[in-house]
Copies of this chain bind each other. A is one copy, B any other.
Amino acid sequence: MVKGPTVYDVAELAGVSIATVSFTFRQPHRVRQSTREAVLAAAQALNYLPSGNARGLARGRTGALGIYSFDFYFLDDPASAGGAGTRAAAPAGSDPNADYRVFPLYVDEVQRGVALECWRRGYTLMVGGGNRTTGRTAIADIAGQVDGLAVFPRTVPVEVLSLISRRIPVVELSEPSHDDSLHHVTVDNAAGMHALTTHLITAHGLRDLQFAAPRDPWSDFQLRFRGFQAALAEAGLPVPERPVTEGDGAPQSAEALAAALLAGGRLPDGIVCAHDEYALPLIDALLRRGVDVPGRVAVTGFDGIVAGRLQRPQLTTVRQPMEQMGRTAAAILIDGFEDRTLPPQSRQLPVEVVLRESCGCPPA
């Protein structure tokens, strides 16, 4: 566990040069059978393990892709940090689905897609994320060790990304192309939300709809809002000028929104949420206040995360092809790395409306 043997050691023991040792592993056909065996025997005897870093440095490639995620600070639970302790049992009466509210989320499923494609093509995947605690932005560390990088939007400043993209291909996940040097994989946010909204209007006869979203003007959310507006306009219904928000619009603020809507006596027929992570706690909050969902008010989401199926009522949503997005991203990166002349790709994938209970449809 200290400092392993190197090619030099193996070469010496086998009585050959280091080049021959290297060839034995990289281009076996160029080495005579007998010497190959000798080298392998020596390697075996010494417990030789090649250094990936040295190889990567010498060859100019690493065989790994990277993915950079959000800062998980909101998931950090010092109590369950690795080490001796065991996580304390959940407090009695706590939501038994609580676990699934934090995993797997949207990013996890996309990441899985990337992992699968990496696996198919013989690459490994390096995972990292922002960390406001340690203060380190691992992005550069990762970028320096991979042949391609997938990033979720708004996790890394654009300048940094375009800097990195001069060295290795970079694909941005779920953000429309900014006409820059990055690759993009997106979904049809507007069309999906349009279809969902139209369903609420035509199938359930809802007239008074509101769109709930974080204040944060994430462009994906904006596009969804546009789709929402368009559907209302087409149906000749009044079109809200902006989403309703309370607090910062983070999932935790769904509670505040529910309270505000009830207090203001302006509860609509339906609340179309910018994403599932907001819809789920909102439903909780409404139910807790005695508001029937979907009886009194329908609530819908966007993304199609697992927790939406565990919710009661089950969440009506628009499902993104998350795994496929990840696979596509990885494929673009690998192709882009292997053929440096490829221009920036921008691929948009279709979404699918998933009708479940929370809009008034029958259970699945």
Contact with B along A282-314 (1 / 0, CB 8 A): 000000000000000000000000100110000
B125 touches A128 (CB 8 A): yes
A142 touches which of B119, B120, B124, B169 (Cβ 8 Å): B124
**CB-CB < 8 A to A134: which residues of B?**
121-122
Interface-facing stretch out of A10-18, A47-55, A222-230: A47-55
A56 touches B4 (CB 8 A): no
**CB-CB < 8 A to A62: which residues of B?**
53, 145
For the complex, give the distance between the alpha carbons of A5 and B360 in Å.
Answer: 59
The residues in A between 88 and 122 inclusive whose CB is less than 8 angstroms from any CB of B are 89, 96-97, 100, 103-104, 108-109, 112, 115-122
- Given the known interface contacts A115-B127, A127-B125, the answer about A82 and B47 at a Cβ–Cβ threshold of 8 Å is no
A364 touches B96 (CB 8 A): yes
A242 interface hit (Cβ, 8 Å): no
Interface-facing stretch out of A202-210, A212-220, A327-335: A327-335
For the complex, give the distance between the alpha carbons of A92 and B88 in Å.
Answer: 44
A145 touches B56 (CB 8 A): yes
A103 touches B96 (CB 8 A): no
Determine how many copies of this chain the complex contains.
Answer: 2
Expressed in whole angstroms, the minimum distance between the Cβ of A192 and any Cβ of chain B is: 14
- Given the known interface contacts A87-B324, A108-B104, A133-B120, the answer about A145 and B50 at a Cβ–Cβ threshold of 8 Å is no
B122 touches A86 (CB 8 A): no
The residues in A between 139 and 161 inclusive whose CB is less than 8 angstroms from any CB of B are 140-146
B109 touches A167 (CB 8 A): no
A164 interface hit (Cβ, 8 Å): yes
**CB-CB < 8 A to A103: which residues of B?**
104, 109, 112, 323
Q: Which of A4, A117, A332 has the most CB of B within 10 A?
A: A4
**CB-CB < 8 A to A306: which residues of B?**
100, 104, 306
**CB-CB < 8 A to A349: which residues of B?**
86
A145 touches B49 (CB 8 A): no
